[in-house]
Chains A and B, each alone.
Chain A
Amino acid sequence: MSFPWARHYEPKNPVMKWVDDRLPLPRFVYNAIGAGYPVPRNLNYFWNFGILAGLSLVIQIVTGIVLAMHFHSSAAGAFESVNGTIMRDVNAGWFLRFAHANGASMFFIVVYIHIFRGLHYGSYKAPREMVWLLGVVIFLLMMATAFMGYVLPWGQMSFWGAQVITGFFSAIPVVGDWIRIWLLGGYAPDDATLNRFFSLHYLLPFVIAGVIILHIWALHIPGSNNPTGVEVKGEQDTIPFHPYYTAKDGFGVGVFLILFSILIFFYPDYLGHPDNYIVANPLSTPAHIVPEWYFWPFYAILRAFTADFILPAKLWGVLAMFGSILLLFFLPWLDRSPVRSANYRPMYRIAFWVLVADVLILGWCGGSPAEAKYVIISQIAAAYYFAHFLIIVPIISRIETPRPLPNSITEAVLGNEGGSRITATAATA
Chain B
Amino acid sequence: MATFEEGVTPDQTVGPGGEILENPRRRDYLLYAAPAVAAVGAGVVVLPLVNSMNPSADVLAQSTTEVNLAAIEPGQAIKASFRKQPLFVRNLTPKEIAEADAVPISSLRDPQTLDQRTKEGHKNWLITLGVCTHLGCVPLGAGEGENRGPFGGYFCPCHGSAYDTAGRIRQGPAPKNLEVPKYNFTSDTVVTVG
Contacts and interface: CB of A to CB of B under 8 A. Distances in A.
A72 interface: no
B175 A312 contact: yes
A288 B55 contact: no
A188 B159 contact: no
A284 B79 CA distance: 10
Interface stretch (A161-169, A242-250, A341-349): A161-169
A314 B174 contact: yes
Nearest to A315: B175
A166 B54 CA distance: 14
Interface stretch (B8-16, B83-91, B116-124, B185-193): B83-91
A185 B59 CA distance: 8
Contacts of A285: 137-138, 156-158
A303 B138 contact: no
Interface in B139-189: 156-160, 172-175
Nearest to B52: A185
Which of B55, B135, B137, B174 has most A Cβ within 10 Å? B135
B136 A164 contact: yes
B109 A187 contact: no
The B interface is mostly helix, strand or loop, or mixed, namely loop
Contacts of A312: 175
A181 B55 contact: yes
Nearest to B51: A182
A85 to B, nearest CB: 25
A315 B135 CA distance: 11
Contact of A164 (B54, B56, B79, B135): B135
B83 A187 contact: yes
A320 to B, nearest CB: 12
B3 to A, nearest CB: 51
B53 interface: yes
A289 B59 contact: no
B20 to A, nearest CB: 53
Interface residues of B, number: 29
A168 B158 contact: no
B106 to A, nearest CB: 15
A215 interface: no
Contacts of B83: 186-188
Contacts of B59: 185-187, 190, 192
A283 B143 CA distance: 11
**Chain A interface bracket (under 10, 10 to 19, 20 to 34, 35 or more):** 35 or more
The A interface is mostly helix, strand or loop, or mixed, namely loop
B173 A187 contact: no
Interface in A100-136: none
Interface string A157-185: 00010011011101100000000011101
A192 B84 contact: no
A282 B158 CA distance: 15
B137 A163 contact: yes
Contacts of A306: 172-173
A170 B109 CA distance: 18
Contacts of B158: 164, 285, 289, 370
Interface string B91-108: 000000000000000000
A284 B59 CA distance: 21
Contacts of A303: 159, 173
Given A167-B136, A186-B59, A314-B134, A283 B172 contact: no
A269 to B, nearest CB: 23
Contact of B157 (A182, A288, A305): A288
Nearest to B50: A182
A377 to B, nearest CB: 15
A312 B50 CA distance: 29
A167 B135 contact: yes
A196 interface: yes
A287 interface: yes
A314 B136 contact: no
Given A171-B175, A182-B54, A190-B84, 7 more contacts: A164-B158, A183-B53, A185-B59, A282-B81, A283-B130, A312-B175, A313-B175
The 6 closest A-B pairs by CB, nearest first: A167-B135, A312-B175, A167-B136, A187-B83, A285-B138, A163-B136
18 contacts: A171-B175, A183-B53, A185-B56, A185-B59, A187-B84, A188-B83, A188-B131, A190-B59, A190-B84, A192-B55, A282-B84, A282-B86, A283-B79, A308-B109, A313-B175, A314-B135, A314-B175, A317-B173
